[in-house]
Chain A
């Protein structure tokens, strides 16, 4: 009786799932066709329909970004590429396009770190997805457990240097990958990055227009949001400048 219930449950879920994917897939194809016919506005509407179904797919956000770029909405384009990269940091096309679009914004921004060594590590880090990292940690954990089991079973009363040495190495790797997974997951769920969508915004030294003007940023600027207070947000730019801008000028990189 139990088995039967599980079976029905599975059937129901899969049917539901299949049905919805087939539908969204159709919308996706029609949107691609619209894009190919250079009807970017309609294509964007169709893509957004799928997005509103809570589909978390990097390719989808990438395509939405492309539509926005074609419609000369640089801020939206940057935002959507950023989301695509957040979902899948290994998305090369999104990275390439983001880099290209950032050359067209009014404010000069760099996607890659200037320091070569740092940018090298960043590249490696970006090239590994969170799932890959979590799987790697799992594999090294399994290795550690296996070695412990082996020591218990076979090395009772014997010289244990060799297996313990291997185990220490495995533990080091485990710690590295587990840390990376944690960082990655934190980044993945972080809400602090945001993109300016209004043509320009003025940063003040306090949460009101009466304070001193600190800077002016333009559409497509990427920055971190630190806190919010009655309609104003304290943001921090990549170059270290901080200031308060109106909350409705930007949107957070999140899905």
Chain B
């Protein structure tokens, strides 16, 4: 008994010591034989006491399988042996794999790198068959009840749940639109729906018309059985290359709720992936024969309308010329019809708008030109041609617009409406300017070389001394008015002396009166005292100014003699007159030298 216990503990210890050193990895699947509609569960289990720190294994690319996601679970157990706690952790990664087609495949070995060691699982063989290996869940009671009379109801899943591809045309021309619809048929209770992978519409230009926003089933009798149907997707396709094109299959993920079997069974939900069948389409090249030069690439059925906003204008006015192409076809890929050249009208860049109806293949393309009338006159707006390929008659057709008559009158101004399409004047060539045809052939006079010019400078300069002298003179006058008197004094004296000399010649006693008057006035002015001052005053002043005593006494003598001659009869001799005149002349030459009174 003791030995037995010993062996068991030894075994466990060995095992643990082995586990402690290593991790263990293994892979297994839930079943090796599955259908294309089933999902394979591949579990990778990592165990060991350090398994928690092992990174998630990377699933390599597995041929013919699509990875649909992974879920993880882990469990751990502890045991205490000899007072030592040991832990065992198991981590499981469950990958959900969806087979792509039927056949025998191999899931390759999966390896994990951990602490420099490579751990590898064994490869697994899988047999995939068409359809499903699972028993199809019973169809919904709703449908069962109805189809009870028809006992031939199939129990196969693919007969009760499928996605149908409906194409409105199997053979189209290049650029001719077609509509593809994916419709779900089901006899089960569907709890949830979602799209799988987005198919690749190679060779088509694609525009979705309809994708449902909520689950909404219709009833439809299909081949004697009642189905719930739902339009899953409707798409407009325009093939842009010729040849055999394939409309790819659409993937749909469906959750089906099973019917509860008993009161305690609430039923369960099961997920299936279904796929529509791909459809082959034949795309024909447009015939090269009879193809017009100005073919607009439009394929379908179209109408052309035109409109003009006004046809009576003035120069500089603008009008709108509208072209409308409406119909069914590849409206988005149409080339705008070419305008003919019209010299007297300026077409600005058109404004193009395309409105497409909900069905994505019909609508209206509107081309609006703003046209400016540039010259006056009567013009014709010629017909504009639009060529397209008519899919009904399978031939090219050309449509024409109306011809419009325009009458342009003289404008009030040449104002051209501002618009984004205004252009900057471009230089079209270079050349020298034209010769000058009218000129005055005169020699250019250079002022600097003219005498007159410099003479004017000289004249200006000469004003300075002139002004200076003038100012000086004016200053003198302003400063002293007596100066004037002093200057006048000489003239007065001269006047009296002339008189006196005449009297002297005639030995007239009047001589003394003239002398006295003249001398006293002269001295009064000269000495700047008031005229008519008394003789005493005069001499007083004279004494102050006169330095020469001799002259002074001589003057006094003359004055005395004058008084005697005037007031005392016989107070003078006739002989004296000549003598006195000479004396006075001498005196005056001395007197003129005295400076005037105060300045």
Give A residues with C-beta under 8 Å from B. Answer: 21, 24-25, 28, 32, 35-36, 50, 54-60, 62-63, 66-67, 69, 87-88, 93, 96-97, 100-101, 130-131, 134-135, 138, 141-142, 145, 148-149, 152-153, 156, 181, 185, 188
Contact = CB atoms under 8 A, between A and B. Distances in A.
B446 A57 contact: no
Interface string B443-468: 11111100001001100110110011
Nearest to A64: B435
Contacts of B453: 134, 138
B569 to A, nearest CB: 60
Size category of the binding interface on chain B? 20 to 34
Contacts of B437: 32, 36
12 contacts: A24-B441, A36-B437, A55-B441, A55-B442, A55-B443, A66-B433, A66-B435, A134-B447, A134-B448, A138-B453, A141-B460, A185-B446
Given A32-B437, A62-B436, A100-B432, A57 B443 contact: yes
B456 A138 contact: yes
A57 B430 contact: no
A130 B435 contact: no
Contacts of A93: 433, 436
A145 B463 contact: yes
Contact of A153 (B443, B447, B467): B467
Contacts of A36: 437
B293 to A, nearest CB: 44
B154 interface: no
A147 to B, nearest CB: 11
B439 interface: yes
Contacts of A62: 435-436
B443 A188 contact: no
B471 interface: yes
Contacts of A28: 439, 441
A69 B431 CA distance: 10
B431 to A, nearest CB: 8
A152 B446 contact: no
A49 to B, nearest CB: 12
Contacts, number: 87
Which 3 A-B residue pairs are closest in the complex by CB-CB distance?
Answer: A59-B439, A59-B436, A63-B435
Nearest to A50: B441
A55 B444 CA distance: 9
Contacts of A66: 432-435
Contact of B441 (A21, A87, A145, A185): A21
B448 A97 contact: no
Contacts of A156: 471, 475
A57 B441 contact: yes
Interface of B: 430-437, 439-448, 453, 456-457, 460-461, 463-464, 467-468, 470-471, 475
B448 A185 contact: yes
Contacts of B432: 66, 69, 96-97, 100-101
A219 B248 CA distance: 77
B441 A131 contact: no
Contacts of B468: 152
A135 B447 contact: yes
Contacts of B460: 141-142, 145
A135 B439 CA distance: 24
A129 B445 CA distance: 11
Contact of A88 (B434, B441, B444): B444
Contacts of A35: 435
A58 B458 CA distance: 31
Given A145-B464, A153-B467, A56 B435 contact: no
Contacts of B444: 56-58, 87-88
Contact of B433 (A25, A96, A130): A96
A185 B460 CA distance: 22
Given A100-B432, A131-B445, 19 more contacts: A25-B441, A57-B443, A57-B444, A62-B436, A63-B435, A63-B436, A66-B432, A67-B435, A93-B436, A97-B432, A100-B430, A131-B447, A138-B457, A141-B457, A141-B460, A149-B464, A156-B471, A185-B446, A188-B446
Nearest to A149: B467
A100 B446 CA distance: 29
Contacts of A63: 435-436
Contacts of B442: 21, 55, 57
A162 B128 CA distance: 116
A110 B436 CA distance: 25
B443 A56 contact: yes
Nearest to A33: B437
B435 A152 contact: no
B464 A57 contact: no
Contacts of A57: 439-444
A58 B453 CA distance: 23
A153 B435 contact: no
Contacts of A56: 443-444
Contacts of B448: 130, 134, 181, 185
Contacts of B471: 152-153, 156
Nearest to A54: B443
